[in-house]
Amino acid sequence: MQLWVGLGNPGAKYAANRHNIGWMALDRIADDHGFGPWRSKFQGSVSEGSLNGEKIILLKPETFMNLSGQAVGEAARFYKLTPADITVFHDELDLAPGKARAKTGGGHAGHNGLRSIHAHIGEAYHRVRLGIGHPGHKDRVAGYVLSDFAKAEQDWLDDLMRGISDGAADLAKGDSARFLNAVALRTAPPRSSTSGARPEKDDSAAPSPTAKPEDAAQPNADARSPLQRLMDKFR
């Protein structure tokens, strides 16, 4: 059994925020893979299903971001899970929009949701870091993560969600490389190898447009009359 946690804030006000991209990822997985209905449990919403034969519990903490660890800790104790059984999906300022990375353990880098989870279960859990980009200055971070994704960002956001869903079964069996490859195939598909270039025209055998074939084959003709040739002979 695994516990997958999506970080975000509860309420319609925050639903489309960049900070809620972890919730969005879990919603997409649940919808695409036939998970059960969401129900209230562990100070959050829970949906159950299976991927690649592995039972997966999806959890969206509803304690607000900076208390996410309370819900995660409660669920982990109930199911008797270790940090190695837990994967957290969260927004990542230090990744370009649409990029995804997977890691295990490490610091929280100032992310309040991760900070809270560290306090309740330690740092040795798995993370799926979902890039949202950086506003450019630390003073703008709070407003940036709590703002909605712009309309211009919807295409890459949808591609990212599709990729996460495509690779979910691989992530469930612990193959993060194949999971990230599935994401990349959606967010950065390979270019076509076919070329529309026409072959270069070989002009080496083409005749010159001004040259006449007979000009090169015949010597210059003597235009003198027979009398002129005789007179020139005795000069």
Catalytic residues: 19
Tell which residue, 9, 12, 24, 20, has the closest CA to residue 158.
Answer: 24
Query: Among residues 55, 35, 53, which one has the least CA distance to residue 45?
Result: 35
Token pair belonging to 56: 């997966």
CB 79 within 8 A of CB 3: yes
Residues 6+ apart with CB under 8 A from 157: 21, 24, 98, 149
Q: Which of 161, 147, 158, 171 is nearest to 86 (CA)?
A: 171
* CA 76 – CA 73 distance, rounded (Å): 5
d(CA 137, CA 178): 34
Cβ of 129: how many Cβ atoms within 10 Å?
A: 22
d(CA 150, CA 62): 24
